[in-house]
């Protein structure tokens, strides 16, 4: 059961991400709640500035989603082991990149969405950043245990 739970978390998160790729989370729909918040926070901002910030918020959501997926995949791949290996990180990164590509492919079938190679690059970069953080964390914990 302990080996299954990390993969179940990956599947649940992937399902959440898949839902984010539907029409319900298109720019048109997210603008209905993000734009008013931005206008409230920045009442003197121009419409162009608000639109640009809306896009930034959406891209930050990509980064968050794919960082989380990358971490969950790392934990699932490593199973019950501890520490960090390049093989675990590379596998998690590859699986995340494949999911990003499949997500963009899925969006080609959603009328209000579109595929973007740039989004795959952003998502993969976010996943790589998550793997870097995991490596730094593991390295820090290894060195702090050897110090004392």
pLDDT in tens, 64-94: 999 999 999 999 999 888 889 999 999 999 9
pLDDT band per the 50, 70, 90 thresholds, residue 144 = low
Contact 78, 91 (CB under 8 A): no
Contact 126, 67 (CB under 8 A): yes
Whether pLDDT at 63 is above 80: yes
**Cβ contacts of 59 within 8 Å, gap of 6 or more:** 122
Phi-psi region of 46 (alpha: psi -120 to 50; beta: other; left: phi over 0): beta
Q: Which of 41, 80, 74 is nearest to 57 (CA)?
A: 41
pTM of structure: 0.87
pLDDT of residue 25: 76
Q: In the structure encoding, which two tokens stand for residue 90, read together?
A: 């590379």
Whether pLDDT at 121 is above 90: yes
CB atoms within 10 A of CB 115: 16
Whether pLDDT at 50 is above 90: yes
Whether pLDDT at 148 is above 60: no
DSSP 110: S
**Cβ contacts of 96 within 8 Å, gap of 6 or more:** 66, 69, 70, 73, 123, 124, 127
To the nearest whole percent, how much of the chain has pLDDT over 90?
Answer: 66
Domain boundaries, the chain: 4-147
Mean pLDDT of 129-147: 84
């Amino acid at each position: 059961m302990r080996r299954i739970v990390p993969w179940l978390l990956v599947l649940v998160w992937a399902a959440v991400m898949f839902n984010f790729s539907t029409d319900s989370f298109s720019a048109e729909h997210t603008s209905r709640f993000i734009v008013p918040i931005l206008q409230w926070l920045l009442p003197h901002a121009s419409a162009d500035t608000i639109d640009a910030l809306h896009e930034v918020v959406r891209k930050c959501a990509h980064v968050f989603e794919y960082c989380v997926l990358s971490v969950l995949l790392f934990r699932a791949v490593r199973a019950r082991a501890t520490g960090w290996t390049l093989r675990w990180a590379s596998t998690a990164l590859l699986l995340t990149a494949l999911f990003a590509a499949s997500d963009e492919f899925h969006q080609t079938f959603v009328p209000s969405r579109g595929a973007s190679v740039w989004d795959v690059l952003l998502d993969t970069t976010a996943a790589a950043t998550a793997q870097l953080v995991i490596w730094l964390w593991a390295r820090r914990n290894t060195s702090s245990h050897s110090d004392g």
